Structures are given as C-alpha cells and as structure tokens.
Structure 1
Amino acid sequence: MRISPHRVSDVMTRAVVAVDRKALFKDIVERMDEWKVSALPVLEGDGRVIGVVSEADLLPKEEFRDSDPDRFTQLRRLTDLAKAGAVTAEELMSAPVVSVHADATLAEAARIMALRHVKRLPVVNAEGLLEGVVSRGDLLKVFLRPDNDLADEIRRDVVDPLFPAPAEPVHIVVAEGVATLTGRVPDATRIPLAVRLVRGVEGVVGVDCRLTAADG
C-alpha cells in the first residue's frame, strides 16, 4: 500500500525575495510592498537564513512613533520598544529563525506554523541555506486537487490494496472534496482503516463511508 503524503517541496514558492542583514527599514517596507509579502527572510553570506523580518517587526516603529510609554509598558514590551528604534534588518528580525525542510510533510509544516504563530516559513536545506518559502496559502493548495484525481488516488492507494476481492465493486465518488465509498467487502474489520486512510489523502475534505460486510 503506497500512501505518499505531499511534501513542502510540492507546494513551496521557490522564487523568493529576501534581504541581507544590513538592509534598511525603508528598503524592507518597499520590498514587501513591491512583492506583496508580509515577511522576508534575512540572509547572510552564501544564502544562510539567520532570521525573518515581518510586518509585525516593523509596526512598533509606527505604534511608538509619538508615544511616551509608561514604566509598565516599557518593562512588558522591551522587545517591541527596541524594534521601534531599529533601522536595519539585523536589528528588526526575529531570530533564531523558525524554518522547515523541503521534505517535511504539509502536516508537519502546518503544525510548526500553528505552534509558533507564524504565517510563512523559510524552507532551508541541511546547511541552513534558503531553498524557498511556504505559506499558509501554499498548504491549502492540496484542496484544489480535482475530484477525479482524489478518486484515482483513493482507488489506487487505499481501496484496491485493502479490498483486493470485494463481494461487489467498491464505488468511489468524490464531490467537492468529499469522498463517498459504497459497496460490500469481504473483511469488515478493514473498513475503519479504509476510512482513516481515505481521510489522510491530501485534498480530501470529508469521508462518507457506506461500505458493508459481504455477509452482512
């Protein structure tokens, strides 16, 4: 049985705009605006990622532009206050960088984003060199897969291996990402496994399993 989850390399953006550590504040803002991105990897040397500068890193400069924060605010938001006075990517960036490797599964990338509260991840190789960027939107691309492709994968990777000799043909219909399975199968104990595997096919939104036992 061959279940091959999609990898970050399948959906990531390879043409990436980045800045070096000495990039100035205004240059960073202009590059974000030009490329319509909310964050930029910060590189040094031969392309090693040392941090990420995001809109959130830039906003303190506007927030504290004409304010005089009280002592409590100063203690609570030391990092933001420091960034309010920063002028280079090195001073503004968040580090150490939260990144992912190209061979990570989409589920692994989504988990990192959720736990670290980030919208985009630099994709790096074993040496930490930039290979691309993956965003939340990239992770959702699997849900754009055509229903026919999903049905073919379910047939090939789940139904045929689990039920090689069904009592009657197993019918697979995928509509708007929801997979419906109908038919009678010889081994009812495998039905829960089939549901779990079909749900794991990337791009499947839901599963309606109507399989029954051949002797039922």
Structure 2
Amino acid sequence: MTSTPYTVADVMTTKVIAVTPTTGFKDIAAAMERWKVTALPVLEGEGRVVGVVSEADLLPKEEFHEHRPGLIEQMRRLGDTNKAGSTCAGDLMTTPAVTIRPDATLPQAARLMADRHIKRLPVVDADGTIKGIVSRADLLKVFLRTDEELTAEIRQSVVERLFPLSHEAVKVTVSQGVATLTGDIRDSSLIPLADRLTRSVEGIVDVRCRLTSRTTA
C-alpha cells in the first residue's frame, strides 16, 4: 500500500575506489588515506569483486613489526601472522567478500552490516560485478528528506489509500521527521495499520498516531 521502499541502488555511491589483487601494501594504505575510507574492494577482470582489504587486514604488519610471534601465537593467530608477512592485496584481503545486491532494501543492508560488523558493502550484480559502494552514512540519507516530502508521501501513500472516504478528515503533520496523524475516521480497526504504514515511510523518525473513531468495525 505504501510507495516502493528505497533500495541500496537509491543511496549507494557509484564512484568506487578499488584495488586489484596485485596492488602493493603501501599503495593500499595510501589509497585509504587519500580517500578517507577504511576498506577497499579488491577487483579482478572487468570488475568482479574477489575480496575486501581493510585497515584490520593491514594492522598485523605493524603489530608484529617489533617482535616475531612465538609458535603458540602463530598457531593461535595464523591468519594475522600470515597477513603480517603479506605485501599485496590478494594475500591481505578477506575473502569471500560480504556483498549486497542493488535491489536490496535499506533495512536488509543495515542488518547485514550489523550482523557482520562492517561499515561498507560492495554492491554487485548477479555476476558479482561491482556497481557501487554503500556505507552506513549512505543508509542514513533517507533521514535527510524534508518534512514537506514526508508529509506528502504519508498523505498520498497511506492516508488517501487507507481512508478513501474520510481522508479529508485526517490531518498529517511532520516536524523534524516525527509524523503526527490526527482526525476522526470511520473504522477504528484501521488505526493500528495507519500507524504501522506511516512508520514504514523511509525517513520517518517516529509516529504519533492520534486518530479517533466514533464507530467500530
């Protein structure tokens, strides 16, 4: 009933800073510093994502710079000690990369980032070819929508469709992303649905549903 949800394609960054498996350690570090990012996708061929190299992948070289780990530590942290001796992205990267499709919804992207404890996701098509990058900051772009935009969408996609006979009696106001619905409607059973659908509008921070009804379903 509501408008089409925002997808990753709507908010992702299409300019992708990436490296190849043969990119050297210092070039990776320089790219992260220059572009102010904490991770870079590693691309092969015509843009296929084969891994991601992050600051965490580079840190073991500094950690083990002054001391050589003992046998027990090497066994316990085999991945880190191997990376400490690596010099190119192909050996440093984490693979397979955690990626997402352009048509994924923003909540799906947010859950994936939270579950995997990552800040950025390469966006790939069905063939694994890079299409963009989506970050935590990108997911928050929906909250930059104006109160006027949100008011118009709630009225059109929620109120007018849910209450075709009494929509003129419903007042919608949005202030700082908080939506308030007031007015008298015919069917009280629709009030919880109006609340839920309004909350589903991208960019809404909170909802105060103050609808009333003189009749019951």
TM-score range, shorter chain: over 0.9
> How far apart, CA to CA, are the structure 1 residues paired with 2:119 and 2:168?
47
> How far apart, CA to CA, are the structure 1 residues paired with 2:4 and 2:191?
20
1:80 maps to a residue whose letter is D
Summarize the alignment of residues 191-206 of structure 1 with structure 2, pairs less than 5 Å apart: 191-206=191-206
1:205 maps to a residue whose letter is V
TM-score by length of 2: 0.95
Whether the 8 Å contact between 1:167 and 1:184 is mirrored in structure 2 is no
Partner residue, 2:147: 147
The Cα shift of 1:87 comes to 0.5
Whether the 8 Å contact between 2:188 and 2:215 is mirrored in structure 1 is no
Q: Deviations over 1:178-200 (max 9, x none)?
A: 10100011011011111111111
Q: 1:167 to 1:93 in 2, by over 3 A?
A: closer
> How far apart, CA to CA, are the structure 2 residues paired with 1:89 and 1:143?
36
Summarize the alignment of residues 1-216 of structure 1 with structure 2, pairs less than 5 Å apart: 1-166=1-166, 169-215=169-215
The Cα shift of 1:169 comes to 1.5
Secondary structure (helix, strand or coil) at the match of 2:169 reads: coil
Secondary structure (helix, strand or coil) at the match of 1:23 reads: coil
Q: Deviations over 1:96-147 (max 9, x none)?
A: 0100011110111111111111110000011111110000000011011101
Whether the 8 Å contact between 2:119 and 2:136 is mirrored in structure 1 is yes
The Cα shift of 1:4 comes to 1.1
The Cα shift of 1:165 comes to 1.6
Q: Share of identical aligned residues, percent?
A: 57
Secondary structure (helix, strand or coil) at the match of 1:50 reads: strand
Q: How many residues align?
A: 216
> How far apart, CA to CA, are the structure 2 residues paired with 1:201 and 1:167?
18
The Cα shift of 1:170 comes to 0.6
TM-score by length of 1: 0.96
Whether the 8 Å contact between 1:168 and 1:184 is mirrored in structure 2 is no
> How far apart, CA to CA, are the structure 2 residues paired with 1:72 and 1:214?
74
2:49 maps to a residue whose letter is V
Whether the 8 Å contact between 2:2 and 2:201 is mirrored in structure 1 is no
1:29 maps to a residue whose letter is A
Secondary structure (helix, strand or coil) at the match of 1:20 reads: coil
2:173 maps to a residue whose letter is V
RMSD over equivalenced CA pairs, Å: 1.4
2:126 maps to a residue whose letter is A
The Cα shift of 1:71 comes to 4.4
Moved over 6 A (4+): none
The Cα shift of 1:70 comes to 4.2
